[in-house]
Amino acid sequence: MFQSDLLKGRTILITGGGTGLGRSIALRFAELGANIFLVARREEPLKETAEAIRAKGARAAYASADIRDFSAVEKAVEAAEEELGRVDTLVNNAAGNFIARTEKLSPNAFNAVVGIVLQGTFFCTLALGKKWIAAKQPGHVLNIVTTYAAANCGSGFVVPSACAKAGVLAMTRSLAVEWARHHIRLNAIAPGPFPTEGAWSRLLPSKELEERAKKHHPMGRFGRHDELANLAVYLLSEQADYVNGECVVIDGGLWLRGAGEFNDFLDLPDAAWDMLEAARKK
Ligand code: HXC
């Protein structure tokens, strides 16, 4: 479906690119010819993923940074330019989330998730957007949101994430208009359930919860990483040049079955909540 050189000449910065969906997307971009710069907090996965990308014959480099810190983001962008040249594409993939009864959250728990998801996404977009506009060069931004943002319905039990992702979607659509004249295109993807170690250990931390989620899914299965990665490729490619400010849902029809991906946790008994909360520090 995709030509093997579809992303040749592109340099893509991916936040949260060392693990999970970010890693899978990065590897797919590399297969199609892009240079990849990974940004995340932990160095070990960054190093390993950069090596896996190089093994595919693409160029890769990384910086460890916390995207809640704007000066760290600016430094990471400088490092990317030094290592790989001009960055023309940003994928805001880094996220934080946990399942919790909202009344149990501390103010800092809200700050942690909103800081990573909303503020971090804005900081990365601002750092690169300013450069693109000053240099009169085009840019592409892809934001990974969630179905409860795309459906504009929020979701119980993931309230900080729901607030933050709704903000990211608002930012995507606002800047799609504001920056179109600078040839900067912004879109979003709203993935449903795609298994990753990071999300699963926080959101579905037992076999029972996983089975329950699968049974509830209209297609009876979770998403495959290549399905998501290929959608990201399309939206960032020149083929999608007229797609701007859009959010594409990829969830096998799950949200249509009932809005708010985690609202069904209303049925969870207190004992199960206690187990979830106890698992949190592991
Ligand atoms: C309640 C929690 C908590 C939990 C942390 N906190 N985990 N509160 N339930 N499970 C609280 C802490 O007690 C602390 O508040 C505050 O949050 C900050 O915690 P830290 O661990 O110090 O923060 P930090 O290192 O910044 O960690 C951020 C994080 C962490 C969000 C808490 O989980 C993280 O970095 N996650 C990144 C990876 C991730 O979450 N991936 C899944 C994304 S999935 P106090 O008051 O004690 O200081 C996704 C998609 C959703 O987004 C849809 C999928 C189907």
- Please tell me the predicted confidence (pLDDT) of residue 202: 82
Residues 109-113, mean pLDDT to the nearest whole number: 98
Residue whose CA lies nearest to ligand 1 atom number 20: 112
Other beta carbons within 10 angstroms of residue 82's beta carbon come to 9
Say if 195 falls within a structural domain. Answer: yes
**Which one of the listed residues 62, 148, 234, 242 is annotated catalytic?**
148
Per-residue pLDDT at 198 exceeds 90: no
Say if 53 falls within a structural domain. Answer: yes
Would you state the structure tokens that stand for residue 188, as one six-digit string? 């979003």
- Please tell me the predicted confidence (pLDDT) of residue 139: 98
156 Cβ partners below 8 Å, 6+ apart? 102, 260, 262, 263, 265, 266
Mean pLDDT check: name the lowest of 41-45, 199-203, 232-236: 199-203
Binning pLDDT at 50, 70 and 90, where does residue 282 land?
A: low
Ligand 1 nearest-atom number relative to CA 158: 51
Residue 243's CATH number:
3.40.50.720
Residues 126-147, mean pLDDT to the nearest whole number: 98
Please tell me the distance from the alpha carbon of residue 104 to that of residue 237, in angstroms, as a whole number: 43
Please tell me the distance from the alpha carbon of residue 189 to that of residue 171, in angstroms, as a whole number: 13
Binning pLDDT at 50, 70 and 90, where does residue 278 land?
A: confident
Residue whose CA lies nearest to ligand 1 atom number 23: 112
244: containing domain = 11-280
Residue whose CA lies nearest to ligand 1 atom number 26: 112
Say if 198 falls within a structural domain. Answer: yes
Q: What is the mean pLDDT of the chain?
A: 96
* Residue 114 alpha carbon to ligand 1 centre in Å: 10
Please name every residue paired with 248 in a beta bridge, in sequence order, or none if there are none: 189
Name the residue of 98, 201, 282 whose CB sits within 8 Å of the most ligand 1 atoms, as the mutation to test its pocket: 98
Per-residue pLDDT at 281 exceeds 80: no
Ligand 1 nearest-atom number relative to CA 199: 42
Binning pLDDT at 50, 70 and 90, where does residue 276 land?
A: confident
Dihedral sign, CA of 268, 270, 272, 276? positive
Per-residue pLDDT at 132 exceeds 70: yes
Say if 4 falls within a structural domain. Answer: no
Say if 2 falls within a structural domain. Answer: no
* Residue 97 alpha carbon to ligand 1 centre in Å: 6
Per-residue pLDDT at 49 exceeds 90: yes
Side by side, the strands of the sheet bearing 247-250 are 60-64, 35-40, 11-15, 89-92, 139-144, 184-191, 247-250
Q: Is 148 one of the annotated active-site residues of the chain?
A: yes
- Please tell me the predicted confidence (pLDDT) of residue 249: 98
Ligand 1 nearest-atom number relative to CA 193: 55
Binning pLDDT at 50, 70 and 90, where does residue 205 land?
A: confident
Say what the pTM is. 0.94
Question: Residues lining ligand 1, CB < 6 A?
Answer: 95-98, 100, 105-106, 108-109, 112-113, 146, 161, 193, 198-199, 202-203, 261, 280
Please tell me the distance from the alpha carbon of residue 148 to that of residue 164, in angstroms, as a whole number: 11
Binning pLDDT at 50, 70 and 90, where does residue 199 land?
A: confident
Taking Cα atoms as reference points, which of 79, 83, 89, 73 lies closest to residue 33? 89
* Residue 270 alpha carbon to ligand 1 centre in Å: 21
- Please tell me the predicted confidence (pLDDT) of residue 83: 98
* Residue 99 alpha carbon to ligand 1 centre in Å: 9
Say if 160 falls within a structural domain. Answer: yes
Say if 3 falls within a structural domain. Answer: no
- Please tell me the predicted confidence (pLDDT) of residue 186: 98
Per-residue pLDDT at 260 exceeds 90: no
* Residue 205 alpha carbon to ligand 1 centre in Å: 14
Q: How many domains does the structure of the chain reveal?
A: 1
Say if 6 falls within a structural domain. Answer: no
Ligand 1 nearest-atom number relative to CA 148: 53
Would you state the structure tokens that stand for residue 151, as one six-digit string? 């459906």
